[in-house]
Every structure is written in C-alpha cells, then in structure tokens.
Structure 1
Amino acid sequence: MAKRGAPGGDSAPHPGRGGPRKNKVLIVVCEGQTERSYFHRLNHRYGAEHNFQIQLTPRKVTEGQQFNGYKPVPAVREAIRLKKTTKGIKNTQFWTVFDRDENDDIYEAFRLARQNDINIAFSHPHFELWLWLHFASCPPGRLGGDRTVTPAKLRKTREFEDFEKLLEPRHFEELIKCGRQANAVRLARRLVDDCPSGRCAPPSEPGAAGHAASCDILLRDPSTDVYRILEVLGIVS
C-alpha cells in the first residue's frame, strides 16, 4: 500500500543512510519532470566532489511511467512532512521547486513555506528560463506571462534543439561547459536586481533569498531562484 503523501509508495528519504555521511543534504520536492531530471544529474555530477547529497521526492520514477510530481501547496506540505520525519538530522535543508505556470496556489505555498522554514526555488514563468540563462548573453525583459518565449529560445540553441521535457545527460553536459553555470547564476541575480517591485536586490550571502518580503511573488516576471541552490551547494560561488 502506498504511503500517504508519498507518490508511488515511496517512504521518506533517510539522509546519510546507505553510505558515508555527506556534509550537506538537500531534500528536494519537485513539481515537474524537467526539474527532477536536472537535480538528479546535478547530484550525480557534483555530489561527491562538493560533499553533498540531493534526495529527490518522489524518489523513484519507473521507466515509461508518467512523472507524479507536486503542485505548489502539496509540494510544500510534503516538504513539511519530510522535515518532521527527519527531525534532528543535522545539515539538512528542505526545498520545493515549482513554477508560476497556471498555478493558483502560489501565495498559499509561500505562506506555508515561511511558517515552516521551507526553502522555495520559484521560477516565473517556468523552469526552462533557468536552462536558457546558461546560453543567454543578457537577462530577458518582461515576458508578460507568455510561456512560449523561453522554450522557443532554448530550442534555438544547437545544444537543446531536440529538448522536450526530460533533461538527458548530453543536455546536462552542455549546461556545465565553458562557465555556463556561472553565467546563469550571474543573470539570475541580475533578474532579482531588475525585479519590477523595485524593492529587491541580490543577496550578499550565497544561497540567501534576494526578493524582498514585500515583493509580489506573481510580479517577479521573469525570475528564477534555482541559482540559490547552486550557491548553497558550493557549485558556483
């Protein structure tokens, strides 16, 4: 019987079990397949080198099975549940990763996350913005909620012309070439500085939130907080 709150019968992740204890553990609850494949490859490529472990929820996706991810509020609630089950384990952070898309529960998701000390890597309008920033020469202007612009730009790059939703190893290898990750972080930070609210500035501390508490989440167009995770893990400083 599948455990309640854990799709596919997955139990709660157990940081540090089954191998040497990592200095830092990130438990990441993902909304979509693209995000999950990205963090899976990030963990595989850099985990040992930078002494961290990313544990994804859902933990397993059977080949050929449709990905069973989480919308914003369920993602935060799942992170809260996992935080309670792993209480007392040091050096563990809890993150949810979701997009603006057409989700109507984002304000509530952020409220729950603040109350329970859950981190959010939010992208507006979608996660593909983060991928495209690796190849961009400058940050994009306002997208007005148009979700077709960034994927179209991404697929115009030679490296991602065949990209759909699943981030294959060859795609990931292109993302980490030639200082592209540092470029994506730099441009993502510039988007914080260019936030329409006029109240936001890139944080001085790596991994910290840059958007002001009074900034309207849905007006952060465009933006992506995924860079914070790379800073937290020490992949890009």
Structure 2
Amino acid sequence: MSKGDRAQDKRDRRRRDRSGASHALRRPPASYGDKSNRVVYVACEGSRTEPDYISLLNKTYGRDKSFRLKYCHPGHGNGLDPVETVQQTLKEAGPEDEKWALFDRDADDNRDRKIPDAMRLAADRGVQVALSHPSFELWLLLHFQHWTSQEHGHDEKVKDRLRRHRDAKGFKDYDKASGDRGKGLNDERGNALLGRETTAVRNARKLVKACPSGRCSADRIGKIQPIPAKGGEKYAEWTERTGHAAGCDPLKRDPSTDVWRLLASLGLGTVVEGRG
C-alpha cells in the first residue's frame, strides 16, 4: 500500500468511526425519561378532516400538554384503506415510538375484510387503533350531543345532524362546499369543537358500554398507556385496551369511536373521568 493509499485508508476509518458513534448515540423518543417532547405518530385513513383535527390538537394543546402528534403523511391526497393506514404508521415510526392509526367502518367501500386484517396487524406490531363506526364524523358530532342510532356503516345521517346542530358553528356546509370548506376544519369549525373534549370523551365512553355485544365497558380501562416497546400483544389483550371484550367483532360496534382513547392518552377531556 502506497503512502497516499495509507493516508486515505486512515481518513476512511475516521469517517466510519464518526458515523458509527453517531448511530450508536441515537435513541428513539420513547426511550427518554423526559416526556416534555413526547411524540406520537398518527396515520389517518382520511386525507383532510383527520389531519386537520390532529393539527388543531397540536396547535391548541400541544405546548401545554407537552406532546406533538406527528402526522404520517402518505405523500398523496387519495386517502388510505385500513391496512394501509397501519402500514403508514409503521413506515414512519420506530419500534419503540407511540403509534396510532385512525380509520372508519364506512360500508360504502366494502372493507369488511380489511378492518380485521388491519387490527390484527396493529396488535402484532404495537399500534393503537381508533376505529370509528360509521365514520370520524361521529367523533365530531359527539362534541355536541350523544348519538345511539345504528347506521350500519353509512354516515350520511351523522353528517346531516352535524350540519344542523345549532352549536356546530361552521358545519352547515360540511362535505358539501368545495375546496377548504368541504371537509376541512377551518377556524370556525375548529373553534366550535374546542373546549368540548370532555363532552366528546364522555359520550364516546357511553357507546363502549352500549356496544351490541353486551360485554364491553370503558370502565375496565384505567390510564391509557402506550403499548410496551417490546412489541405487539396477543389480539385479545390488545382488544381489551379499547374497553371492548376480547371476542367483540369490530364490525358490529355500531355506533362507536375510539378517538376518545387518543385524547385521553394525551390528558385531554379527562377531568378525573367519571366512569361511563
């Protein structure tokens, strides 16, 4: 080896050593004891309303509650199916990071097979799921009123009630107007939701107890904890995190929404919660 080659070899080793040290020191956010910069990765089936809601929570409560919801953007605006939603979370988050996937029952696109597949994948890979039956709009409506009508996966009645509710300011043309006024949560709509989180959580908890299976209750849930970094859980154990019984069919949880669990995990809407 020539003198020049030996010098180059030393430089290459130094670069490799520095690179290796850098990677060795890198730690996932969840491994730090300091929760002041808690990051939660969230993927959504919808491309507009859910991301807007995540942004609203970050902007309004993130600093005071010391969290940041990291939206896992798929790189397009076409939306995702339930399995793709879970996969998108896994693509962006590390094994020890907190991970959530939000998707709907929505009978209009024949997803009966994909929802159970998505939930089993989530259980296996340590992802929390917030399933809304029939749709995320039920969660929005629960900020203003309770809702018990079974819609069998169709959400037009839910959206119609949301548009007509006197306290749902700005929602009159929800999903009817074009552009930002369509399904977005602009300032007026966002302001109508803010401060009603406790009502929404309480109403959503009631729906768990009213689940058609007759064996479910949010009472069985204590503090909403992240799934341990060791990885996934048995499906039955994972299901019980939602308050639903181990054998409860998610396709029959009509109506219901698990978005309340995401908020409760962030300390929102939980004024020493009365059991419901």
Say which SS state the counterpart of residue 27 (structure 1) adopts.
strand
Amino acid at match of 2:122: A
2:125 equivalent to 1:116: yes
2:105 equivalent to 1:100: yes
Partner of 1:176: 194
2:77 equivalent to 1:67: yes
Equivalent pair of 1:58/1:68 in contact (CA under 8 Å): no
Cα distance, 1:21 vs structure 2: 7.4
- Provide Cα deviations, 1:110-152, integer angstroms capped at 9, x if missing partner: 110111111101000000000001111x332222333211000
Provide the aligned C-alpha RMSD in A. 2.1
Q: Could you tell me which of 26, 29, 47 is aligned with 2:62?
A: 47
Partner of 2:174: 163
Say which SS state the counterpart of residue 186 (structure 1) adopts.
helix
Amino acid at match of 2:174: F
Tell me, in whole angstroms, the C-alpha distance in 2 between the residues paired with 1:121 and 1:87.
19
Say which SS state the counterpart of residue 95 (structure 1) adopts.
strand
- Provide Cα deviations, 1:191-230, integer angstroms capped at 9, x if missing partner: 0000001111103313341112210010000000000011
Tell me, in whole angstroms, the C-alpha distance in 2 between the residues paired with 1:113 and 1:59.
17
Residue identity (%): 40
Tell me, in whole angstroms, the C-alpha distance in 1 between the residues paired with 2:88 and 2:118.
11
Say which SS state the counterpart of residue 25 (structure 1) adopts.
strand
Unaligned runs of 5+ residues in structure 1 are 1-13, 61-65
Amino acid at match of 1:122: L
> For residues 1-237 of structure 1, what are the structure 2 equivalents within 5 Å?
22-32=36-46, 33-58=48-73, 67-83=77-93, 86-87=94-95, 92-101=97-106, 102=109, 103-104=111-112, 105-136=114-145, 138-158=146-166, 159=169, 160-164=171-175, 165-177=183-195, 180-202=196-218, 203-207=220-224, 208-237=241-270
Equivalent pair of 1:139/1:188 in contact (CA under 8 Å): no
Cα distance, 1:76 vs structure 2: 1.1
Tell me, in whole angstroms, the C-alpha distance in 2 between the residues paired with 1:222 and 1:185.
14
Normalised TM-score (structure 2): 0.70
Amino acid at match of 1:139: W
Kindly report structure 1 stretches of 4+ aligned residues shifted beyond 6 Å.
none
Unaligned runs of 5+ residues in structure 2 are 1-27, 176-182, 225-240, 271-276
Amino acid at match of 1:225: D
Equivalent pair of 2:215/2:244 in contact (CA under 8 Å): yes
Call closer, same or farther: CA 1:197–1:87 in 2, change over 3 Å. closer
- Provide Cα deviations, 1:143-172, integer angstroms capped at 9, x if missing partner: 233321100000002412132311112211
Amino acid at match of 1:130: W
Cα distance, 1:87 vs structure 2: 4.0
